[in-house]
């Protein structure tokens, strides 16, 4: 196991295999890892609660943008809903 695999483990995707789902899953895993790092930094006093909040908020906005751009949850006609 290399250092990157140890520090940034990736879980296997088990949902419906579509390119947009795979990309979003990778984005979601990265979001989760970064939130974990930020939480650890805030807990240990390395960054302030306000800094951690702002960083997590920015990550969340990026994840929402990714979700929208990939069209997750939309039907083939561009309507919201389940497929």
The verdict on residue 2 lying in a domain is no
Residue span of the structural domain in which 54 resides: 17-33+45-69
Number of structural domains (the chain) is 1
The verdict on residue 63 lying in a domain is yes
pLDDT value of position 13? 78
Q: How far apart are CA 35 and CA 57, in angstroms?
A: 10
Q: Which two tokens stand for residue 60?
A: 């969340």
Tens digits of residue pLDDT in 15-70: 888 999 999 999 999 999 999 999 999 999 999 999 999 999 999 999 999 999 99
The verdict on residue 27 lying in a domain is yes
The verdict on residue 12 lying in a domain is no
The verdict on residue 76 lying in a domain is no
CA distances from 63 to 3, 34, 69 (A): 26, 12, 10
The verdict on residue 6 lying in a domain is no
Concatenate the DSSP letters of all residues of 64-82 into one string.
Answer: HHHHHHHTTTB-TTS-BS-
The verdict on residue 21 lying in a domain is yes
- Give the torsion sign (CA, 5, 20, 24, 58): positive
């Amino acid at each position: 196991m290399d250092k990157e695999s140890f520090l940034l483990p990736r879980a296997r995707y088990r949902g419906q295999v579509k390119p947009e789902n795979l990309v979003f899953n990778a984005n979601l895993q990265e979001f989760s890892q970064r939130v974990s790092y930020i939480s650890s930094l805030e807990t240990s006093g390395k960054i302030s609660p306000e800094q951690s909040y702002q960083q997590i908020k920015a990550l969340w906005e990026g994840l929402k943008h990714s979700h929208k751009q990939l069209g997750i949850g939309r039907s083939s006609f561009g309507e919201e809903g389940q497929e």
